[in-house]
Amino acid sequence: MISAEAAGALAVLALTDSLSFGTLLVPVWLLMTPGRVRPHRILLYLGTVAAVYYGIGIALMAGGRFVIDGAAGLLDTTAATIARLIVGAALLAASFALDTKAARARAAERAQQSGRLSRWRERAMSDSATSALVGLAVAAVLLEVASMLPYLVATGIIAEQTPGWPAALLVLAGYCLVMIAPALALTAGRLVARSAVEVPLKRLDVWLTRNARSTTLWIIGVAGFFLAATALQDLGWVPR
């Protein structure tokens, strides 16, 4: 159905997506809500995030399949592959160039001054505010649209490598599940070993908050790497 090489690339991209604002930072903040853990609220949040990503993925794959079918081999030309290499290299270089110490400091200051997410958390974790929690999940995904490059690359791989829609939808579902797996694991750890994971969770919360910009740029860099690497392979400049 899909090659081992493509499956490995998708796994790396999914784990990269799992480190984003909506799939890890917000779940960690929700898990740090004072009082007892409400796992059903975390599951509702993560389920909504996965569902929104899944819907966006279907739309991206539909467009990708349209382009692939309509281009009739145009995307496989040397010129198109070189263009993909240039874009990937530019994204990779930009992720390093923009990730300066000053940028990290400004991002940390903005994150610490903003109380919006804290207010959302207080409302969202209340059993009487299901719409607020779902709204938080949708907003988190929409805020990430500009940095969805790994997901864009992944949906392109799925559209190209799978033989039809049933297989593509199944692979996409698996991708979304892997994407929320780290947050699910943290939720399980918070339930069964609260005292053991509470301090690491607090540290992770602080680190993610201070390095939100760096994490986003790192994700963009991974997407650029995959674009450039696959282009180099297609050109025959590096072995597969």
Averaged pLDDT, groups of 10, the chain, 240 residues long: 85 89 84 79 94 92 64 62 78 67 50 53 73 82 75 87 90 96 91 77 68 60 72 74
The pLDDT of residue 217 is 62
For 143-174, the pLDDT digits (tens) are 777 667 788 889 988 988 888 889 999 999 99
- Residue 14 confidence (pLDDT): 93
* 85 close to 228: Cβ distance less than 8 angstroms: yes
| pLDDT for position 73 | 54
What is the pLDDT at residue 170?
A: 95
Residue 40 CB partners (closer than 8 Å, separation 6+): none
Whole-number pLDDT of residue 72: 46
